[in-house]
Chains A and B, each alone.
Chain A
Amino acid sequence: MSSVLSVVKLLALTTATRLIIDPPQPGVWNMSVDEALLEDAVANGIATLRFYQWNEPTLSLGYFQCYADREQHAASRQCVAVRRQSGGGAILHDRELTYSLSLPPGHPLGGHAPRLYEEVHLAFIAAIAACYPNLLQGKPLTHTVKIRGGSARVPPSEEPFLCFQRAAAGDIVFAQPGTAGAGRERIVKIMGSAQRRYHSAILQHGSLLLSQSPATPELPGLKELSGWVPVVGRVTELVVEQLATRLEMALAAEKMSAQVQSLARRIAKNKYGTEAWTKRR
């Protein structure tokens, strides 16, 4: 945390943004805080960048997914489930780094959904790359971590259940030339994000797969793909630095305000903590 603070202090930037780094917490709380921060962006015009983790493997369903569809994924059937307010496929949150960015109405980046998506992902790629020199010890790279370009449209009814098995332009993928058979490049998604627009404000949250979870054995993380064991604190610190520069944010590390905590508790009680919300479809 202190190293993150020192990075932040060094940056001379333009858009004031609150930085919150949370410890691992329950899924209901994590989703409630993200919604509270979005509401805070609307009510008080405050932008917030938040990093968080999960205190147990948790399945989050996309806003429009059917709860019953989780039955088709046996490995995560015993995990607790929450429903996100953002769209897309289900995510098993376990050994990952999760972030959210809440921007108030009128924010320069709020009107450019694809640009915001790409800029945040580019910051993550730069952060991962910054870790590599120490890892490689002079050996040449056999893979790249990059933004996925265009992808073929799949009818919504045919999309896989899991977000990390879906392909969308802007995803971060791990690419290894010539390892997918017939000399083709092997492409594996390691990060995706989703957005919720609310009264002209925007919440974008996403997950970087650090390593494979027993609840999603079909999804390798950075550790399995690269041999590198990511350290959450260091990755967070580098992403903060990259985001601050790329998005021209003046980041100020803060504790969550009592007002936002109170709002999150109310949202948890009335929405994310209820079966009516989780099983609404």
Chain B
Amino acid sequence: MKPESLLFAKTHEWVAVAEEGGQKIATVGLSKFAVEALTDLVFIELPKVGRQVAVGESFCEVESVKAVSDVYAPVAGEVIAANDKLADKLELLSNDPYGEGWVARIKITDETGLKSLMDHAAYQKQCAEESH
């Protein structure tokens, strides 16, 4: 996926929303900016399928050599898939953050959270400010 087509949370998660069988499904991952800030990745604890998440709730944790970081749910709903490939190939997060490095898919139950997400241009601006 091209980052220009995605939505972004302030906490650096990206979201791609698609309609599937009448349901809105969000594919969620970590932005390239966030992954680069984490440096050498060591471990990921993926969310359990079936878990209900609220907007802004920590639902996944990533460990790098220096830090443990939370991944926050950018939308509310039910986790319907987690990217199990990451457990053995954590480098997918850095090599292909907007493709094979996706983290989870969430069936959206409340679309309110979508309104607070940024487009790519606004997100780039936030990243530029955080880099200073």
**B67 and A194: CB pair below 8 A?**
yes
Contact indicator per residue, chain A 186-206, by CB within 8 Å of chain B (1) or not (0): 000000011111111010000
Closest chain B residue to A159, Cβ basis: B42
How far, in Å, is B66 (CB) from chain A's closest CB?
A: 5
- If A63-B63, A196-B68 are given as contacts, then 19 extra A-B residue pairs at C-beta distance below 8 Å, sorted by A number, are A63-B61, A63-B68, A64-B43, A64-B45, A64-B68, A86-B67, A87-B63, A87-B66, A106-B130, A108-B132, A113-B37, A113-B66, A113-B67, A114-B39, A153-B40, A168-B65, A195-B66, A195-B67, A200-B11
**A87 and B39: CB pair below 8 A?**
no
- By a beta-carbon cutoff of 8 Å, the part of chain A in contact with chain B is 63-64, 85-87, 106, 108, 111-114, 117, 153, 156, 168-170, 193-200, 202
Q: Which residues on the B side are within 8 Å of A114 (C-beta)?
A: 39, 66
Q: Which residues on the B side are within 8 Å of A196 (C-beta)?
A: 67-69
Q: Which residues on the B side are within 8 Å of A169 (C-beta)?
A: 65
Of A85, A117, A198, which is within 8 A of B66 by CB? Answer: A117
Q: Which residues on the B side are within 8 Å of A87 (C-beta)?
A: 42-43, 63-64, 66-68
Closest chain A residue to B38, Cβ basis: A113
A202-B67 Cα distance, complex, nearest whole Å:
9
How far, in Å, is B53 (CB) from chain A's closest CB?
A: 16
Interface residues of B in 54-87 (CB under 8 A from A): 61, 63-70, 72
Shortest Cβ-Cβ A-B pairs, 7 listed: A195-B67, A197-B69, A87-B63, A87-B68, A111-B130, A63-B68, A168-B65
**B10 and A200: CB pair below 8 A?**
yes
Q: How many A-B residue pairs have CB under 8 A?
A: 60
B131 within 8 A of A: yes
**B43 and A197: CB pair below 8 A?**
no
Closest chain B residue to A114, Cβ basis: B39
Q: Which residues on the B side are within 8 Å of A195 (C-beta)?
A: 66-68
Q: Which residues on the B side are within 8 Å of A112 (C-beta)?
A: 37
**B43 and A156: CB pair below 8 A?**
yes
A108-B38 Cα distance, complex, nearest whole Å:
16
**B63 and A170: CB pair below 8 A?**
no
Q: Which residues on the B side are within 8 Å of A170 (C-beta)?
A: 66
A64-B90 Cα distance, complex, nearest whole Å:
16
A135-B131 Cα distance, complex, nearest whole Å:
42
How far, in Å, is B74 (CB) from chain A's closest CB?
A: 13
Closest chain A residue to B41, Cβ basis: A156
Closest chain B residue to A192, Cβ basis: B66
A198-B42 Cα distance, complex, nearest whole Å:
18
Of B11, B38, B66, B69, which is within 8 A of A168 by CB? Answer: B66
Of A64, A85, A113, A156, which is within 8 A of B39 by CB? Answer: A113
